[in-house]
Amino acid sequence: MKSINVKIPATSEQNYQIKIGSDLLGTVIANVRSFYPKHAFFLVTDGELIKAGHVDKLIAGQTIAGRYVIEPAGEISKHIGTVGAIIEAMEAANLGRDTVVLALGGGVVGDVAGFAASIFKRGVPVVQVPTTTVSQADSAIGGKTGVDSSISKNAFGTFWNPFAVYVDVATLKTLNERQFRAGLVESVKHSLIMDAGYFEFIEQNLDKVLAREPGVLEEIAGRNCSIKAGVVEKDPYEKNIRCILNYGHTIGHAVESASNYEILHGEAVGIGIIAAGLIEKQLGLVKDGRLERVRNVLKKLDIGLKMPEYMDKARVFELLRSDKKSVGQVPRFVLLEQIGSVCSVGGQYAVEVGADVIKNVLDEL
């Protein structure tokens, strides 16, 4: 088992560990209980995790005070109403500030449970137990929580660092193929922004990753978590450099919203990564054929690299105005200088791109 420490500046109380391995679920509650012996445990999960047997493995004879099962599973339930329902379920169980929330699931479960934990009784500990490629690579690490509005993605949320994160790669065995492949786009993103060697590793080992070989899955989980932790430590509240983790997400989030979340997050980010590459090409930042290398990896993941024909380009462009990196409703983009390195202009990592360039790229997509 591998451990990665995440150190949050200014306060040691918010430091936490990420533990990575295989078949860890049965150890989670006992391990956390050793730090919180008198706390009650409340589980947030979804029906798919119950069917897969992961809930039984997590509880493994331990006592929990209650649970909330998110139904239906997925982005459709990532809204403020679900957060309210979780809090009311905790209230109904007579829970107080001596509660630990266990978030067992993918990105939606982690975001919603973390948000609920951050505002229940003004904040209780949350333990993230991610079970998908996207949550193990990205969303469970870093302390960002959030839910969607009727207009845009992640419109409401908080920063609430977990007490701990347990990455059990064995949970990926039960993930359906589409979810598994889509979530790997976040791994590609990490390599593109921070580590050219990691990108080469993905290129060379993608068949083993897709075969879900445990050793390779642990390797990519470790690399993802190390990259994410390193960025979060420098900028825990997304004031500047942390925005590089949003590479491919600007147009990606807009596409995801415009599809009414029929397109998975990773699939939309894949389109967004190609969009960012096309912007880089128009701005003269692509000099080494890297866009083709990126295309080839995403194609092997079976990620569609164009917007669906039904999608309204004007709607996508309008959604860019509400992106969290926008200033004065002008969208800003994280762009690559080269594989493993992002552009910085005047010390800022999200740069303004002209509307004409964006519209040209949307036409190409």
Residue boundaries of the structural domains of the chain: 2-175, 241-364
Active site residue 186: yes
Residue 346 pLDDT more than 90?
no
Active site residue 122: yes
* Sequence-separated (6 or more) residues with CB below 8 Å from residue 79: 147, 148, 149
Active site residue 78: no
Tens of pLDDT, residue by residue over 146-189, are: 999 988 888 999 999 999 999 999 999 999 999 999 999 999 99
Nearest partner of 297 among 187, 177, 169, judged by Cα: 187
The CATH number of 241-364, from 3.40.605.10, 1.20.1090.10, 1.10.357.10, 3.40.50.2000, is 1.20.1090.10
The whole-number pLDDT of residue 327 equals 65
Active site residue 223: no
Active site residue 190: no
Active site residue 38: no
Fold agreement (2-175, 241-364):
no
Would you place residue 248 in the very low, low, confident or very high pLDDT band (cuts 50, 70, 90)? very high
- The 3-state secondary structure of 194-258, one letter per residue: HCHHHHHHHHHHHHHHHCCCHHHHHHHHHHHHHHHHHHHHHCCCCCCHHHHHHCCHHHHHHHHHH
Q: What angle do CA 253, 257, 258 make, to 5 degrees?
A: 115
The whole-number pLDDT of residue 321 equals 83
Question: 130 preceded by cis ω (within 30°)?
Answer: no
Residue 38 pLDDT more than 60?
yes
Q: Choose the catalytic residue: 78, 253, 324, 332.
A: 253
Q: Choose the catalytic residue: 13, 38, 94, 122.
A: 122
Instruction: Kindly provide the b/e burial profile for residues 321-339, where b requires at least 16 CB atoms within 10 angstroms of the residue's own CB.
Output: ebbbbeeeeebbbbbbeeb
Active site residue 228: yes
Averaged over 323-330, what is the pLDDT?
69
Q: Choose the catalytic residue: 238, 281, 293, 352.
A: 238
CB atoms within 10 A of CB 341: 14
Active site residue 293: no
Q: Choose the catalytic residue: 54, 190, 249, 325.
A: 249
The CATH number of 2-175, from 2.30.110.10, 3.90.470.10, 3.10.580.10, 3.40.50.1970, is 3.40.50.1970
Residue 12 pLDDT more than 60?
no
Residue 8 pLDDT more than 80?
yes
Would you place residue 238 in the very low, low, confident or very high pLDDT band (cuts 50, 70, 90)? confident
Would you place residue 286 in the very low, low, confident or very high pLDDT band (cuts 50, 70, 90)? confident
The whole-number pLDDT of residue 16 equals 94
The two tokens of residue 270 are 């894949």
Q: Choose the catalytic residue: 54, 223, 246, 324.
A: 246
